[in-house]
Amino acid sequence: MKSILIALMFIASQFAIATNPIHEEDKKSHAVDTKSSTLEWKGSKVTGDNHVGDLQLKQGTIVTDDGNIMSVEIEIDMTTINDKDLTDPEWNAKLVGHLKSDDFFSVDKYPTASFKSTGTSVKDGKTHVTGNLTIKGQSHPVTILATFKNEDGILTVSGKFKFDRSKYDVRYGSGSFFEDLGDKLIYDDIEMKFVIKTSK
């Protein structure tokens, strides 16, 4: 009887291993290197004019399992938002101040934004990361198409995506809130481009 119980326990353990191929010890957590990572933005007007700038990451973590991305958490320092296309210091400062105001991102009230993934998949060599983007205390789902590589223990995740600013109560010049804006209309979609690297 004892030998039968031992045999059954062995079979059960082998079944558990077969049906749970992902082991917790295979998971690795990688801290984001905020200094070598970049996050760029682009906003456009109906006239064809646009502004471009960047933001700094505050902190972040990427979890991998067997070489695949399992989760991503990023915190963005909204106080670092800047503009890179206006060369006149006075006009540049005015634009940046306006972006930080309640007309746009209310940086004093909401000094950070964040992205937290809810799922990942790989298709045709591209990593699809779905998650919640939080801006001004409001969260909405976005899907990011990214490329992922691991070189000497340093992960690099790069890609781009768009988000609709009107969903986050960023109202200035938005046709979603105001009518008859004419050539003062600013498109709701903000284009984002990023390169996120982890520490070794």
Say how many CA atoms lie within 13 Å of 167 toward its Cβ. Answer: 14
**What pTM value is reported for the model?**
0.83
> According to DSSP H, which parts of 22-173 are helical?
89-100
Query: Using one digit for the tens of pLDDT, what is the confidence trace for 114-155?
Result: 999 999 888 877 788 999 999 999 999 999 999 888 888 899
Residue 17 lies in a domain: no
From 65, 33, 47, select the one nearest 157 (Cα to Cα).
33
Residue 153 lies in a domain: yes
Position of tokens 């790989």? 122
Spatial neighbors of 66 by CB under 8 A, at least 6 apart, are 22, 26
- Residue 78's pLDDT is 98
> Count of domains in the chain?
1
Torsion of CA 65, 66, 68, 71, to 10 degrees: 0
CATH number of the domain within which 187 lies: 2.40.128.110
Which residue range forms the structural domain that includes residue 95? 26-197
Residue 20 lies in a domain: no
Query: Using one digit for the tens of pLDDT, what is the confidence trace for 64-114?
Result: 988 788 999 999 999 999 999 999 999 999 999 999 999 999 999 999 999
Percentage of residues of the chain with pLDDT beyond 90? 70
